[in-house]
Amino acid sequence: MQLRLAEIGDAGPITRVINAAFKQAESFLIDRDRIDESSVRALLEKGNFLVAEDQGVLVGCVYVELRDERAYLGLLAVDPQRQKAGLGSKLMDAAEEFCAKAGCRFMDLRIVNVRRELPAFYHRRGYVETGTTVPFPPELKPKVPCHFVEMSKRLA
C-alpha cells in the first residue's frame, strides 16, 4: 500500500472511489453521486487529496485544505471492498501529519448527523464536536431531515 499526494490525473479515480464509498454509506440519505470529476478538479486547485494505492489502483482518499493555523478535512473515502481494514485510519493519520507539518494547529471536519457510525470513529481519534451547520445543502436533496455536525482536533 502506498500513500501519496494526488495529481490532477487522479481526478477520475478519486471521483470513482468517493462515489462508491458514499453510495454504500449514504444510499439511505441521498440518491445521487456525492461528487463529479469537475468538482474534484476544483478541489485539487485549492487543496490536496492524499490517496492510497494498492498495486497502482487507487483504493482510498482524503481531502485536506490548509487554512492558516487550521486545516479542513473531508471526503474520506475507502473502496467498499477495502473497508474495515484500517485504511481510513491510515489516511487520517497521513492527513493529520501532512497538515501538522504544514504548520496547522487544528484539524476541522464535518459529518452528517444521521451517519451513526461516524461520531465514534472521530471521537476515538480525538475529535470533539464544536457545533452544527443547518440546514443540509438543499442541492443534495436528502431523503431524511439532517444536518452537519462540526468537529475539531488539536494537532501535535
Picking from 117, 129, 28, 46, the residue whose alpha carbon sits closest to that of residue 76 is 117
Range of the domain at 127: 2-154
Fill in the amino acid letter for 130. T
For residues 41 and 49, the answer to whether their CB atoms sit within 8 Å is no
pLDDT of the chain, 156 residues: tens digit per residue = 899 999 999 999 999 999 999 998 888 888 889 899 999 999 999 999 999 999 999 999 999 999 999 999 999 999 999 998 999 999 999 999 999 999 999 999 999 999 989 999 999 999 999 999 877 777 778 898 888 999 999 997
Count of structural domains, the chain: 1
CATH number, domain of 125, equals 3.40.630.30
